[in-house]
Amino acid sequence: MAKAKRSNDWGFPRWRAYGSSREAEAVRLCDRHGCDEPGDRPAPKSPNSRERWYFCQAHAAEYNRNWNYFEGLTAEEAAAREANEKQGADAFASASHYGWGGPGDGTRSRDEMRALDVLELDAEADFEAVRAAWRRLAKANHPDLKPGDREAAARFQAVQAAYEVLRTAEERKV
């Protein structure tokens, strides 16, 4: 009579997870010669191939360092592919007004922060302070007050552009 093997199951319901066992789990090593790290990052062996290399993080970064997504395409084909892929990223573009990853507390975009710098204001300035700074700098640099001064004219145009950026942002909030 054969001796019964000990089991991890204690009857119904099953007390252990499916697929669990007492055997050691095989770990795939990095395919880079001489590396003993786990190879948990797949990389294609060639374009349009199902075969994969499995690298550790360091060797996957080395493998991808000089990879060019648009290699072998003409400029027109590359532009068409880029436009096609940007078309699928519209959700990120529509959420750009939240300013994720931008400077400050995320309520202002990079352009708005640059405009505040031009108007010599802090990031927390409200729109009334923006309007007051715009009037002060516009009066100080107006071409009618300083005829022939190219620096003042350029500064006046920068102040006007900064005010437009902040005004449209304020209108968008309301």
CA 85 – CA 45 distance, rounded (Å) = 24
Range of the domain at 122: 99-173
Answer yes or no: do 53 and 106 share one domain.
no
Residue 3 has pLDDT above 70, yes or no: no
Q: Is 9 part of any domain? A: no
Do residues 162 and 118 lie in contact, with contact meaning Cβ atoms separated by under 8 Å?
Answer: yes
Per-residue pLDDT tens digits for 42-54: 888 877 778 988 9
Same domain, 60 and 124: no
166 lies in a domain? yes
Given a contact cutoff of 8 angstroms between Cβ atoms, the answer to whether 134 and 94 are in contact is no
Q: Which pLDDT score, from 0 to 100, does residue 129 have?
A: 94
> CA-to-CA distance for 12 and 9, rounded, in angstroms?
8
Q: Total structural domains in the chain?
A: 2
pLDDT digits (tens, 9 = 90+) for 86-115: 776 666 666 655 544 444 556 778 888 899
Do residues 103 and 168 share a domain?
Answer: yes
Q: Residue 23: is its pLDDT beyond 80?
A: no
Whether the per-residue pLDDT at 20 is higher than 80: the answer is no
User: Cα–Cα distance between 154 and 115 in angstroms, integer?
Assistant: 15
